Amino acid sequence: MFVIIIQIVLLFVAVHLWNNGLLTVGDFILIQAYLLVIFERLVSINRALRRFNDAIADATESVELLQMPHEVADVPHAKPLVTAASHIEFKQVNFNFKKEVAVLKDFSVNIISGEKVALVGPSGAGKTTITKLLLRLYDIQGGSIEIDGQNIAHVTQDSLREQIAFVPQEPILFHRTLMENIRYGRRDTTDKEVMEAAKKAHCHEFITSLPERYNTYVGERGVKLSGGERQRVAIARAILKNSPILILDEATSSLDSQSEALIQDALATLYGGKDCSCYRPPALNYYENG
């Protein structure tokens, strides 16, 4: 609207100047052309400023989130976790969420290197909680959790999680390419290594059937993939990470029995220590203790 008004005013001024012999038709056309270019630039600047304001608002929220204090912090002078055998031990662990009833009370379990253990029980029994405690997403109220004799409360969280590959029940995928989503397991890997991990997780076949193959964007939270495909990508990420400890929290629940058996067989050759929560009876055949 503003541009139209300016053009009308300019037209009247040009006619007046032309009548007085102060402006030629060529001058008028040239001025009009310059003004159109200026108006286009002003509109572009206005759009850029609006995008800039939106970006500043998003960045502010991100910075505020990053500046929030961690609920679980490293202790002063925490040392990196050093693993050799990846021996996991829960010693009389007590845990509850705030003032709720205890989720775990005097819970103890001993998982030696190379052992595959299935945690089986009804919903709400604490299987996922055990996984979160091993990842130290929460601190326990009593007892200790040790890896190779080192209390995980006394080591840095970064080094702890570096030793664990975790595949959750609901895979976390980002709106990036399949290549990038798998490579989140280990950022310094080559494309060939990513593809090898995808083959072992049996997702290479469906990836290569896509028009963009490994350069396909998966959408927010992987909405462009089926549940089973998302889980295979998450498993490929865990295989690529190649950590000594692998945790599968019902990670194969959306796969058919044949695919699940192939994936379990592939994982068994890659990992020494395994801790997995699983309900499906066929999967239990792959675990030594339950």
Taking residues 121-145, report their average pLDDT: 81
Residue 36 confidence (pLDDT): 78
pLDDT digits (tens, 9 = 90+) for 78-111: 888 887 777 888 888 888 887 667 778 888 888 8
The reported pLDDT for the residue numbered 262 is 65
**Residue 251: per-residue pLDDT:** 64
- Full-model pTM: 0.65
CA dist 207 and 180 (Å) reads 13
Secondary structure, 3-state, 220-285? HHHCCCCHHHHHHHHHHHHHHHCCCEEEEECCCCCCCHHHHHHHHHHHHCCCCEEEEECCCHHHHC
Q: Is 208 helix (H, G, I), strand (E, B) or coil?
A: helix
* Strand, helix or coil for residue 87: coil
CB 47 within 8 A of CB 55: no
Contact residues for 11 (Cβ-Cβ < 8 A; gap 6+): none
DSSP state of 56: H
Measure the CA–CA gap between 118 and 189, rounded to whole angstroms: 30
